[in-house]
Structure 1
Amino acid sequence: MTLHVDTKSTLDKWRPATPAQESLRQAFLGFLAAREDACQRSCEAGHITASAVLLDADSEHVLLTLHPRVGRWLQLGGHCEPTDTTLAGAALREAQEESGIADLRLEPEPVHLDVHPITCSLGLPTRHFDVRFAVRAPRGAQPVRSEESDDLRWWPVGALPAGSEDLAELLAAAR
């Protein structure tokens, strides 16, 4: 199974909790139907990305990365790689790479979708069609910052850093 097929299947099966998320799900499926390269970073029109909302064992804290290019605290995640065969696997890979935490547990269904404009590695304005998954860390997990982050830290779910208020809906869906 290819990543494109898995992504379409994942979104076909998922039933979001809100009308806004259902509307985005339909838009993502339309984009996937129109573009065989929708999961590839080289797709200039936009591309599917995979994110991980990494919660601690008690779901009281979320691990956020201070993204060097964006300059904001965000959930972990990024581009799908040619070796990724599932979208959930891409989200888990990103979470492990960016957190340095082993033994993460991934919820297999998405929890949230988002489309945002960005100038990423292509150097051109594009869009990320971001599919977000909930991931749980083992009790006592200590993150290790990677080169992909300016900072990495646990934040109380109810006290997100300034400028990250837009993550509240995502966190509610993940919890």
Structure 2
Amino acid sequence: MPPNSSAIRTTIDRYLDRHPDERDALAGLLAALDRPGDVTARTTLPGHVTCSAVVVDSQCRVLHIRHRATGGLMLVPGGHVEPGDRTLLAAALREVSEETGIAPGALCLTPQVLGAPLDIDVHDIDASPSKGEPAHHHYDFR
């Protein structure tokens, strides 16, 4: 079962404790949490939660992959939360594994940032008529 709105709000509160100047940018996400429904479901509009992972190697290089869904943009691994993801971190780790083949156990999680995401990015997603999806927002927890 994906994380519920209360758990996501707690994560956002921890993030905003470190980045209070981003509260206005996250207003749409905070409003979405007040509405009924699952804010992690890809059918939740006008926007829903997604998760990405910033994978950094010992030489401080950041892993990027070419995302087909974005027309080939080079992005960090990430995507939609799935029903089996119990936490946002679990969703991010699953996405890394699916998109890169790197097993979650092969990654070293940074203890300093486990309590809150490094970044919560709000970005627009173009409509996808072939998927029957209108334009919407991704609230991407990284």
TM-score under structure 2 normalisation? 0.78
Give me the whole-angstrom Cα distance separating, in 1, the residues matched to 2:41 and 2:132: 11
Gaps of 5+ in 2: none
Partner of residue 50, structure 1: 51
User: CA offsets per residue over residues 19-70 of structure 1, 9 Å max, x none?
Assistant: 1x33334542232122432111111321100111111134x10110111121
Q: Residue 104 of structure 1 aligns with which residue?
A: 107
**Cα drift, residue 91 of structure 1:** 1.1
What's the counterpart of residue 32 of structure 1?
33
Question: Which is richer in strand?
Answer: 1
Identity of aligned residues (%): 36
Aligned twin of 2:121: 114
RMSD: 2.2
Alpha-carbon separation, structure 2, partners of 1:115 and 1:56: 26
Aligned to 2:61: 61
- Greater fraction of residues in helix: 2
Show the counterpart of 1:41: 42
Q: Distance in 2 between matches of 1:48 and 1:82?
A: 13
State the Cα deviation string for residues 96-150 of structure 1 (Å, max 9, x = none).
2212112213342201111111136553211111111xxxxxxxxxxxxxxxxxx
Q: Following superposition of structure 1 onto structure 2, how do residues 1-175 of structure 1 map, counting pairs within 5 Å?
A: 3-4=3-4, 5-14=6-15, 15-17=17-19, 19=21, 21-58=22-59, 60-70=60-70, 71-102=72-103, 103-106=106-109, 107-108=113-114, 109-118=116-125, 119=127, 121-132=131-142
Structure 2 counterpart of 1:135: none
Preserved CA contact (<8 Å) 2:52 2:77: yes
Q: TM-score scaled to structure 1, two decimals? A: 0.65
Q: Which runs of 5+ in 1 are unaligned?
A: 133-175
